[in-house]
Chains A and B, each alone.
Chain A
Amino acid sequence: MAMMSIAEALREGIREEMRRDERVFCIGEDIGIEGGFGGAFTVTLNLSEEFGHERIIDTPISEIALSGMAIGAAVAGMRPIADVQYGDFLFCMMDQLVNEAPKLRYMSGGQVSVPMVMRAPVGSTRRGAQHAQCLEGFFTHVPGLKVVAPSTAYDAKGLLKSAVRDGNPVLIFEHKLLYGAKGSRIEKGALSPIGEVPEEEYLVPIGKGIVRRNGTAATLVAIHRMLYTSLSAADRLAEKGVEVEVIDPRSLVPLDKELIFESLRKTGRLVIVEEDNLTNGWGAEVAALAADEVFEYLDAPIKRVASPDVPPPFAPILEAEYLPNENKVIAAVESIL
């Protein structure tokens, strides 16, 4: 077992897949320039030394071209891993991600496949409104896209490797404060969880969630930074004698809803914690599914803890108000006990 940050685990996952399969390549902005960043959060740092610029392809600042090229290359038999500097920039390539990648297979009657990976950093990190958004809810709505959101080094590597081998477009959302980027790219206030990553080959299947903490009083569902917020809140609740279960779905499409339902049959109470703003987020879908399919097991209203419906603010005091935190999670749990 090696101890790694998420950025390091992703880098190792990419390296292994590129060594395993010559069809795999990386494409993005500032990902392989010598003396550059290795991607905005260092994930592809130094990979061009091993694989050259033919397989670590730096593009112009052209999000439509880079996404469309990844899609076209995927249709033509390659396995691109595309990289966008900040998730917010996905909106610049929305036609490619919504009209093209997820529809080509369907509208061709199954003739083509688009085995493309798109990695996108999300999360509010004192950069103001346009480098901060959590975008999962936009893309979980699109038929034909898979959406994953790893929160540990183990899952980041295992899910990335599964995504590369998947025959479909897969969006990987990664949280800026979880990468563990070092040197000049270090993030203020980062959590940077270091985790065990096996030396040997492994995959984390897309569509399988995991229970991060066992409990019976309520079920918390969270990803990314909010997973760690929820786990901290769970520790504090435990001090008061309230043991909550914490579930990390890891994949949002497909969603391991059975894992959540199984927990709800035990706890009867559901709190969803997401960093995205409240309305129509992925948490709303989890709430709707629970109300629809395990209503009879629910003993209390479903609660969502999310950011308010405002753009992400800059000033630290405003950002602190905007983001969900342990106190808000604890209050939500206590309101339904």
Chain B
Amino acid sequence: MPEKEIKKEGLLDLYYRMVLIRRFEERVNELYMQGLIPSTLHLYIGQEAVAVGVCADLKDSDYLLSTHRPHGHAIAKGVDIKDIMAELYGKATGCCKGKGGSMHVGNMKVGMLPAIAIVGGNVPIAAGCALAQKMQKDGGVTVCFSGDGASNEGAWHESLNAAAIYDLPVVFITENNLYAASTPFHLTFKIESVADRSCAYGLPGVVVDGNDVLAVHEAASKAIVRARKGEGPTLLECKTYRQCGHSRSDPRGYRTREEEQEWLKKDPIPRFEVWLKQNGKADEEELTELREHVEREIDAAIEFAESSPLPEPADVYTDVFME
């Protein structure tokens, strides 16, 4: 693993955020199975190193554009898990007042736009946020997550080209988790890596091990610095694996259990634990303490969501237009 200069607290925060996302998703899945969450879910399990590594250097004033699989991005960007949990429950206290749901979580106070669940639909909007940041000259940067599948959308290609010609301060993250819903990567790409497409638009394309949080962080930091300096966008492809099915109605019949076992060996969280211990950055006691803290935080989020009021039926009519 490469190591950028990160202090111990920073390293432990990366670990803490990854575990928070993992356990949030696992607990949410249990709640879903109990019938407590009324929507479908697209779980982020297995991809935690991408969101956490990318977001570590972002400020609240920077923008993040997400997808139909947004919980991990939201947590990494700093959206309170109480607000996300309440949103999943469809409660009035949710981050979108119960009007968004799982696929649209966001909180503008920490720079996360409502997640956009049309594949590729978020990419031109990210370019627009970055255009505003460039015009406002505030040094802000926009980060846009999308999957490998999105890079076959016209919106993705139009947006990368536009971002490149205007030198926009945006970092396009491709989370290549090898499957667009059920369709394997190799059936819809004639190339090895999505990042190979960057040369067509004249922006740097970088490939990184998306299950290595330090590698992701280092690559993302470089791209973010480049964007802040006005040098333009970067396409950063993080090779990773979606450990769960596409959504809650996916028994994963299109891939083998053996393949899944191989990828579990590269699970980003145990990998980072080993690294932390081997490099003397943390011992088991410290990590256990962090994990226990995560459980308590999720307990509190569930308690908050369950005890929160439902929206009023009349709320359906509000928030359509700005008055």
Contacts and interface: CB of A to CB of B under 8 A. Distances in A.
B96 A62 contact: no
Interface stretch (B24-32, B33-41, B100-108, B290-298): B100-108
A168 interface: yes
Interface string A87-115: 00000000110011000111111111101
A29 B106 CA distance: 32
Interface stretch (B3-11, B132-140, B226-234, B245-253): B132-140
A25 interface: yes
B97 A109 contact: yes
Contact of A68 (B99, B100, B155): B155
Interface residues of B, number: 46
A71 B128 contact: yes
A77 B322 contact: no
Given A72-B126, A75-B129, A60 B99 contact: no
Contact of A110 (B63, B121, B142, B319): B319
B162 interface: yes
Contacts of A60: 158, 161-162, 165
Nearest to A143: B320
Interface in A54-78: 54-55, 57, 59-60, 62-78
A144 interface: yes
B131 A72 contact: yes
A109 B96 contact: yes
Contacts of B100: 107-109
Contact of A72 (B97, B129, B165): B129
B129 to A, nearest CB: 4
B162 A110 contact: no
Contacts of A59: 162
B2 interface: no
B96 A107 contact: yes
Contacts of B99: 106-109
Among B104, B123, B125, max chain A CB count under 10 A is at B125
B124 interface: yes
Interface in B107-166: 107-108, 113-114, 116, 118, 121, 123-133, 135-136, 142, 154-155, 158-159, 161-162, 165-166
A67 B124 contact: yes
A167 interface: yes
Among B95, B108, B118, B320, max chain A CB count under 10 A is at B320
Interface in A162-220: 166-168
Q: Lowest 10 CB-CB distances: which A-B pairs, in order?
A: A72-B128, A68-B124, A167-B322, A109-B97, A76-B132, A65-B158, A69-B128, A108-B114, A62-B158, A110-B319
Interface of A: 25, 54-55, 57, 59-60, 62-78, 80, 95-96, 99-100, 104-113, 115, 143-144, 146, 166-168
Interface of B: 63, 94-101, 104, 106-108, 113-114, 116, 118, 121, 123-133, 135-136, 142, 154-155, 158-159, 161-162, 165-166, 318-323
